């Protein structure tokens, strides 16, 4: 008997079910429940601390209003609903980075419920339902080091302890590693656009965990899930999920049971590894925080937060495509980069006569080229970029010259007009001026003309090159090309 129709890989016999949990540090000036500053990055250990964030007995927390507002802002941006009132809960567990023995969090009354986020994937637009976003406090940080005697020691730095942390949890709606990566990228972009977090993954401001399970393709019930953490980049997130899908498929194929556990991602080995067998939520014994009152949310405050939202990435992309006529690709690239978005918008605003497409092009190709080539901050005055784009579009300077003007503007800050004049840039589009340059080149290069007559079409390119050289690159290349062809056909041999 011949087996037919079997899918190629184990993973293809299963469908992945993925839910993402993101922890994100909010960009408040002070910590969640005390007045300590959050600007501890790079500071000596244990210098941004007080009795509250050290977890000393008897210290009393007070609520950071800005942190609450940031979660409500996020909720508004993902179209979630806010409760009329919420409260704080203690999530109890022991760990050296949590000296209180509990974390103040929100258990069943999150500040935001039932939202969603839409983004593009290689298979088209995709929407993920977001279960909740709630507020909690970050833990201290353990530093594993070697002391002066060569002994391994674990040290605790409390600077991070008590930093406001928002947790955003999705429904298990995600089906592929790519969708998971795109979700996390879009959430980062959203958090940055609304200004609630710097959301830098490398600096631990955005920590992404993936819950992954498999079910036989075509079936409903969810399988046992594995929680994967320690991914330090979007690429790592995608790789870790892809690895986990393969790993689970092999186990399920072998008829073995999967364990509900927490696994870490090893970037060097390119694989996940067991960290601990999963605790269930019962283990935390959440109960209402007795030191903080319930929090009533004034509907007027929530309405005001909603009204203050800036244009969000998804609607900006839609507007760029629908009203400005940009391609989906151009819109995505511009919107993914806040500095590029600002330069694009401000340049268009500086000169209403400019068309969106060429401005988008200059920002995407030239601005991003300049910025990605340096670690220095790049400043471009929007009106000057507008002047350059306008001059190139009007054919008064060539594109190559425009690029040079922009580079010079970035270095000196000088106005585009001044650079163009100083360098004598102009583009010769005047027909009679071009024609005489072409005629001169034809006369000076009889051999090339003969080659053309002998059927060597490349000779045109050589002559165009001679004209460009003679005009120091100022001739309109497209016009030179057509003039050369015209002249050569006019001079077609009468004797041949
Ligand atoms: P916990 O606190 O135990 O991590 P949460 O409910 O906060 O549980 O988060 C669980 C995450 O796992 C959510 O994103 C949810 O969508 C996802 N999830 C739940 N069940 C499954 C499953 N069977 N497979 C994959 N993901 C799941
Ligand atoms: Mg969780
Ligand atoms: Zn403190």
Tens digits of per-residue pLDDT, 75-102?
A: 999 999 999 999 999 999 989 999 999 9
User: Is pLDDT at 494 greater than 60 in this prediction?
Assistant: no
Q: Separation of 172 CA from ligand 1 center, angstroms?
A: 7
User: Is pLDDT at 149 greater than 50 in this prediction?
Assistant: yes
Q: List, in order, residues 6 or more apart from 480 with CB less than 8 Å away.
A: 434, 437, 438, 464, 467, 468
Percent of the residues in the chain that have a pLDDT greater than 90, as a whole number: 78
What are the CA-CA distances from residue 398 to residues 64, 90, 442, 476 (Å)? 56, 66, 23, 7
User: Is pLDDT at 398 greater than 90 in this prediction?
Assistant: no
User: Is pLDDT at 381 greater than 70 in this prediction?
Assistant: yes
The band of 2, judged by pLDDT with boundaries at 50, 70 and 90, is very low
Mean pLDDT of 283-288: 88
Instruction: Check residue 493 and give its pLDDT.
Output: 56
- Asked whether 188 lines ligand 1 (CB < 6 A), one says no
- Asked whether 110 lines ligand 1 (CB < 6 A), one says no
Rounded Cα–Cα distance for residues 133 and 70 (Å): 11
Q: Separation of 323 CA from ligand 2 center, angstroms?
A: 41
Q: Which atom of ligand 1 is nearest to the CA of 224?
A: 23
Residue with tokens 């959050």: 38
What's the number of CA atoms in the CB half-sphere (13 Å) around residue 46?
9
Question: H-helix or E-strand containing 342?
Answer: helix 338-350
**β-pairing verdict for 271-277 and 261-266:** antiparallel
Q: Whose CA is nearest to atom 22 of ligand 1?
A: 225
- Asked whether 225 lines ligand 1 (CB < 6 A), one says yes
- Asked whether 403 lines ligand 1 (CB < 6 A), one says no
Instruction: Check residue 496 and give its pLDDT.
Output: 41
Residue 190 has what DSSP assignment?
H
User: Domains of the chain, with CATH numbers?
Assistant: 10-296 (no CATH), 311-422 (no CATH), 431-491 (1.10.10.410)
Mean pLDDT of 189-197: 97
User: Is pLDDT at 449 greater than 50 in this prediction?
Assistant: yes
Rounded Cα–Cα distance for residues 75 and 86 (Å): 14
What are the CA-CA distances from residue 275 to residues 58, 137, 214, 227, 248 (Å)? 34, 23, 20, 10, 16
What's the number of CA atoms in the CB half-sphere (13 Å) around residue 201?
19
User: Is pLDDT at 132 greater than 90 in this prediction?
Assistant: yes
User: Is pLDDT at 10 greater than 80 in this prediction?
Assistant: no
Instruction: Check residue 431 and give its pLDDT.
Output: 78
Cβ 263 vs Cβ 227: under 8 Å: yes
Residue 98 has what DSSP assignment?
B
> Could you report how far apart the first and last alpha carbons of the chain are, in Å?
76
Among 478, 480, 476, CA closest to 441: 480
Average pLDDT for the chain: 92
Mean pLDDT of 375-384: 95
DSSP string, 356-410: HHHHHHIIIIIIHHHHHT-SS-----HHHHHHHHHHHHTTSS-HHHHHHHHHHHH
Find the helix packing angle between 65-77 and 177-193, rounded to 10°: 130
Q: Nearest-5° angle of CA 212, CA 218, CA 222?
A: 35
For ligand 1, mutation pick of 18, 21, 208 (most atoms within 8 Å of CB): 21
Write out the residues surrounding ion ligand 3, Cβ under 5 A: 34, 36, 50, 52-53
| 271: Cα separation from own chain's centroid | 25
**β-pairing verdict for 206-216 and 14-25:** antiparallel
- Asked whether 179 lines ligand 1 (CB < 6 A), one says no
**β-pairing verdict for 226-231 and 261-266:** parallel
Burial class (CB in 10 A: 0-12, 13-18, 19+), 412: exposed
The band of 407, judged by pLDDT with boundaries at 50, 70 and 90, is very high
List pLDDT tens digits, range 420-436: 988 888 777 777 888 88
DSSP string, 242-280: HHHHHHHHHHHHTTPPPP-EEEEEETTTTEEEEEEEPPP
Which two structure tokens, joined as six digits, stand for 142?
């353990």
Rounded Cα–Cα distance for residues 324 and 317 (Å): 10
Q: Nearest-5° angle of CA 355, CA 361, CA 365?
A: 160
Q: Nearest-5° angle of CA 210, CA 21, CA 17?
A: 45
For residues 366 and 481, which has the higher predicted lDDT (pLDDT)?
Answer: 366
User: Is pLDDT at 53 greater than 50 in this prediction?
Assistant: yes
Residue with tokens 């509900």: 260
């Amino acid at each position: 008997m011949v087996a037919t129709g079997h899918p190629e890989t184990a993973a293809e016999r299963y469908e992945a079910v993925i839910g993402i949990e993101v922890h994100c540090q909010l960009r408040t000036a002070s910590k969640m429940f005390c007045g300590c500053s959050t600007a501890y990055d790079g500071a000596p250990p244990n210098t941004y601390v007080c009795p509250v964030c050290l977890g000393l007995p008897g210290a009393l927390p007070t609520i950071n209003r800005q942190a609450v507002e940031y979660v409500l802002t996020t909720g508004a941006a993902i179209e979630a609903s806010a409760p009329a009132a919420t409260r704080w809960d203690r999530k109890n567990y022991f760990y050296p980075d949590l000296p209180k023995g509990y974390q103040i969090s929100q258990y069943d009354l999150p500040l935001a419920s039932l939202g969603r986020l839409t983004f593009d994937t290689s298979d088209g637009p995709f929407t993920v339902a977001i279960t909740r976003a709630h507020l909690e406090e970050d833990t201290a940080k353990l530093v594993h080091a070697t002391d002066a005697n060569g002994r391994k020691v674990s040290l605790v730095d409390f600077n991070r302890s008590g930093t406001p942390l928002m947790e955003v949890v999705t429904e298990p709606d995600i089906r592929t590693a790519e969708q998971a990566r795109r979700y996390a990228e879009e959430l980062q972009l959203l958090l940055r656009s609304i200004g609630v977090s710097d959301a830098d993954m490398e600096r631990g401001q955005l920590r992404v965990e993936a819950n992954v399970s498999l079910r036989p393709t075509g079936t409903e019930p969810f399988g046992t899930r594995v929680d994967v953490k320690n991914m330090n980049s979007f690429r790592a997130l995608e790789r870790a999920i892809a690895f986990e899908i393969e790993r689970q498929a092999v186990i399920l194929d072998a008829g073995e049971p999967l364990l509900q556990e927490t696994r870490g991602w090893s970037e060097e080995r390119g694989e996940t590894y067991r960290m601990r067998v999963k605790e269930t939520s019962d283990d935390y014994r959440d109960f209402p925080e007795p030191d903080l009152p319930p929090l009533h949310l004034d509907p007027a405050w929530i309405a005001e937060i909603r009204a203050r939202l800036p244009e969000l990435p998804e609607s900006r992309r839609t507007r760029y495509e629908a009203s400005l006529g940009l391609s989906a690709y151009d819109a995505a690239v511009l919107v993914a980069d806040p500095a590029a978005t600002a330069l694009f918008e401000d340049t268009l605003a500086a000169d209403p006569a400019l068309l969106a497409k060429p401005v988008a092009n200059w920002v995407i190709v030239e601005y991003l080229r300049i910025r990605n080539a340096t670690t220095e901050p790049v400043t471009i005055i929007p009106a000057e970029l507008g002047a350059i784009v306008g001059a190139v579009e009007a054919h008064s300077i060539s594109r190559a010259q425009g690029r040079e003007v922009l580079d010079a503007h970035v270095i000196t800050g000088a106005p585009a007009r001044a650079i163009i004049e100083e360098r004598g840039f102009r583009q010769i589009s005047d027909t009679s001026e071009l024609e005489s340059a072409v005629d001169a080149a034809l006369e000076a290069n009889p051999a090339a003309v003969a080659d053309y007559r002998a059927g060597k079409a490349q000779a045109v390119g050589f002559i165009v090159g001679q004209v460009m050289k003679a005009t120091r690159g100022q001739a309109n290349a497209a016009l030179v090309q057509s003039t050369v062809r015209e002249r050569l056909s006019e001079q077609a041999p009468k004797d041949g």
